[in-house]
Amino acid sequence: MDSKNVTALALTGATVVGLGALAGGHSVSAHFAYADARGSLVKAERLRTLSAGEVRTALGQGGFDASTVRRGVDAYRLTYRTIDTKGRSTTATGLFAVPRGKSGRLTAVSYTHGTTSYKPDAPSVSTTPWAVGPAYTYAGSGFAAVAPDYLGLGKGPGVHPWKDVPSETSASLDMLRAARAFAPRTGHTLDRKVLITGFSQGASSALGLARALQDGADPHFVPKAVAPISGGYDFANAELPALLGGKLESKSSTLYVAYLLTSWQRIHGGIYRTPQEVFKSPYTEHVEKYFDGTTPGPEMFKGMPDRLADLLTPRGWTVLKHPSGTFSAALRTDGEVCGAWTPRMPVRLYRAETDEQATTLNTDHCVTALRARGVTPQVVNLGRPLYQGSLHLGTNVAGTGQIVRWFASLPQR
């Protein structure tokens, strides 16, 4: 979890792109005729235009490898139609970035971001190098970067349903559709084959999107390769035991557990009747608000305890150590990203040598599950990269630089 503020870039403000020419050249009336369709575009805003040098500077400020960047970037915020966790119509936002000076067909890279709890920290709103670095890397290297904010983050309504792979998948798929509709307004079209990556929370989202596209969820897009980074792929049998057993960094473990319980209570219900059942005082009064998208990360970080022992009641420990009911069912769904499908595309799993937030057992278990289905993914050990003192965060920075090179090496058609 990125709980710290990093230096924001001084960039130009947003301008709204006229709706009359959106959705692949449809007129205004045609656009609104499709307004209820999933992936239809509601609004597009130009956020900023950067030269190649400015992109490299921004990436350098965040520690990202800028050596593959050859082009400037045009960045947009897309607001689009999607569905919520109950299948009801809603909207979400995301960052769409394309290379400058390169017209025609582009290969899209879908990048799904890691955990954040504050709406303005999402890729389409934040200007920090951490938030925009992966999208700028891919766009500056010649790809179309498609980075959904997920439900309830960025400018999307409601509360973010954290660690809910089904809604992360649908939001990512519909963001791709919106990007395809908008791309002609930038002088581009999107190729059918999609490259897919994501970090931490977004690693599971990336596998979810790859699975959906392989299963034919969209008639246009097909997955070309998938490269998730440092995912919590097996919360039930790897991540939760490590969190509860004190094998991971104490503060981040406390935050993840609080986020998981409050989020899954909102999504699924039946986990607790009142916060007092699972959280100790004085945190019962604030914990749900800390994770409703309106509390800045540093404020949430300061207000939460440093140890799980100071957060959880005996009932809270029981829920996590002995999952049952809706909580157990949600864990099974979460684990299906590796265990319930057979990828028919190249798969590379990126991780650190060790990780203080997402135990590397997650990756080991994912490899075992895929091998049981006849798939042998390549595991890339990123060593011990650091970002703001974190190996976990460092894998996003180091992995992005390696993945963009792998994606560029793949056959173009």
Tokens of 254: 């406390």
State the CATH number of the domain containing residue 284.
1.10.260.160
Does position 30 have pLDDT exceeding 80, yes or no? no
Residues 138, 228, single domain; the answer is: yes
Task: Please tell me the distance from the alpha carbon of residue 94 to that of residue 80, in angstroms, as a whole number.
Answer: 8
Residues 348, 382, single domain; the answer is: yes
- Total domain count, the chain: 2
pTM assigned to the model: 0.92
Determine the 3-state secondary structure of 363 from DSSP. helix
295 confidence band (pLDDT: 50, 70, 90): very high
Residues 51, 79, single domain; the answer is: yes
Residue 109 lies in a domain: yes
Residues 265, 133, single domain; the answer is: no
Residues 118, 140, single domain; the answer is: yes
The pLDDT assigned to 332 comes to 97
Residue 316 lies in a domain: yes
The pLDDT assigned to 412 comes to 79
Q: How many CB atoms lie within 10 A of CB 63?
A: 21
* Percent of the chain residues topping a pLDDT of 70: 91
Last residue of a domain, one of 333, 368, 390: 333
Residues 83, 149, single domain; the answer is: yes
pLDDT tens for residues 40-95?
999 999 999 999 999 999 999 999 999 999 999 999 999 999 999 999 999 999 99
Last residue of a domain, one of 268, 302, 333: 333
State the CATH number of the domain containing residue 63.
3.40.50.1820
Residue 225 lies in a domain: yes
What DSSP character marks residue 307? S
What is the residue range of 261's domain? Answer: 235-333
Does 155 or 16 have the greater pLDDT score?
155
Question: Locate tokens 């909207």: which residue?
Answer: 91
